[in-house]
């Protein structure tokens, strides 16, 4: 009697495993596209910079630099000492030679270009801003390190805009207006980001949504460096509309998912039904 169940069960297993294999191959593509940025160095690679800078010969300030760096968002993304300062991390005796590309510690004035080698869009926005212009003209504007720090750099957020930091040179009023304009968008951004995360966990292909999302995200966050409150307000409206479009596309994907789930449920019913029918048919033949 068992053999009458076998055919439908085999077909069912076939269908379910095609679904699963789609999910794994998607995960592979995701990893290929997003996790293998060119600066990813091999895990576990030993850096002479870190070894020597944390040795007993070094004073407490030097240890403090490495400690801060280890907790930074850069460290999590494999941006190490030599990615910023240059030099040869694999060669202890030559590592701080100019011939090996060592740049040393940047002078105050050189900091924007120093960070801007990687954060190009932000550098450009900053250079055109009141902050950037004043920094180069009179030295009185803030540079990247004033707001982000140098070794303990963390994920950026609106929290950087706070009274203690922003009132060092002027009143808090304009800074606060900027924060309000950013707030509406950030709220929407984190909502969309969360939903994208859920979809990804469910194994749904969100590559296209994710690319559009990150493009808008990066462009918007760079905008705050213009410190142009009116234009941030104006653009906030634009971004919120774009995000709402992404949101409605996501909802469509959810509908598709519901359909897929139901689809599996129907299949299951059909196949169990089919088993029973084959079984009964077979029995009726036997009885003849």
In the region spanning residues 107 to 146, those forming contacts with ligand HEC, defined by CB under 6 A, are 111-112, 114-119, 122-123, 126, 130-131, 134, 140-146
Residue of minimal CB distance from ligand HEC?
130
Residue 8 contacts ligand HEC per CB under 6 A: no
Among 15, 41, 158, 212, binds ligand HEC (CB under 6 A): 158
Residues 52-81 that bind ligand HEC (CB under 6 A): 52-53, 65-66, 69, 73-74, 77, 79-81
Relative orientation angle of helices 173-201 and 229-287, to the nearest 10 degrees:
10
Distance between CA atoms of 112 and 116, rounded to whole angstroms? 6
The string of DSSP codes covering 6-48 is HHHHHHHHHHHHHHHHHHHHHHHHHHHHHH--TT-PPTT---H
- Contact string 85-104 vs ligand HEC (x = CB under 6 A): x-xxx--x--xx-------x
CA angle 83, 86, 87 (to 5 degrees): 125
Distance between CA atoms of 45 and 91, rounded to whole angstroms? 12
The three-state (H, E, C) secondary structure of 55-67, written as one string: CCCCCHHHHHHHH
Among 4, 15, 26, 175, binds ligand HEC (CB under 6 A): 175
Binding residues with ligand HEC: total (CB under 6 A): 77
Shortest separation between residue 197's beta carbon and ligand HEC, angstroms: 16
Shortest separation between residue 46's beta carbon and ligand HEC, angstroms: 11
Residues 216-235 that bind ligand HEC (CB under 6 A): 218, 221-222, 224-225, 227, 229
Closest to 186 in 3D by CA, of 140, 243, 142: 243
236-273 b/e with 16+ CB inside 10 Å = b? beebbebbeebeeebeebeeeeeeeeeeeeeeeeebee
Shortest separation between residue 211's beta carbon and ligand HEC, angstroms: 14
- Contact string 240-279 vs ligand HEC (x = CB under 6 A): ----------------------------------------
């Amino acid at each position: 009697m068992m053999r009458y169940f076998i055919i439908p069960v085999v077909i069912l297993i076939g269908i379910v495993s095609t679904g699963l294999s789609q999910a794994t191959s998607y995960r592979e593509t995701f990893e290929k596209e997003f996790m293998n940025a060119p600066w990813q160095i091999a895990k576990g690679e030993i850096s002479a910079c870190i070894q020597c800078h944390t040795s007993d010969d070094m004073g407490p300030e030097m240890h403090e630099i490495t400690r801060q760096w280890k907790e930074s968002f850069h460290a999590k993304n494999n941006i190490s000492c030599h990615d910023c300062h240059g030099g040869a991390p694999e060669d202890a005796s030559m590592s701080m030679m100019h011939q090996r590309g060592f740049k040393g510690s940047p002078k105050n004035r050189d900091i924007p270009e120093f960070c801007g080698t990687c954060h190009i869009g932000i550098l450009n926005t900053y250079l055109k801003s009141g902050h950037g212009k004043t920094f180069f003209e009179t030295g009185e504007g803030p540079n990247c390190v004033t707001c982000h720090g140098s070794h303990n750099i963390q994920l950026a957020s609106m929290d950087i805009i706070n009274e203690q930091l922003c009132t060092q040179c002027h009143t808090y009023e304009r800074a606060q207006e900027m924060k309000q304009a950013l707030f509406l968008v950030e709220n929407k951004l984190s909502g969309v980001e969360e939903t994208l995360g859920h979809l990804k966990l469910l194994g749904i292909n969100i590559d296209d949504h994710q690319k559009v999302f990150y493009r808008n995200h990066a462009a918007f966050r760079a905008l705050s460096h213009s410190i142009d409150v009116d234009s941030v307000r104006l653009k906030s409206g634009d971004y919120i509309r774009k995000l709402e479009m992404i949101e409605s596309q996501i909802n469509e994907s959810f509908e598709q998912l519901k359909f897929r789930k139901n689809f599996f449920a129907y299949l299951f019913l059909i196949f169990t039904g089919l088993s029973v029918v084959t079984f009964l048919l077979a029995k009726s033949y036997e009885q003849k």
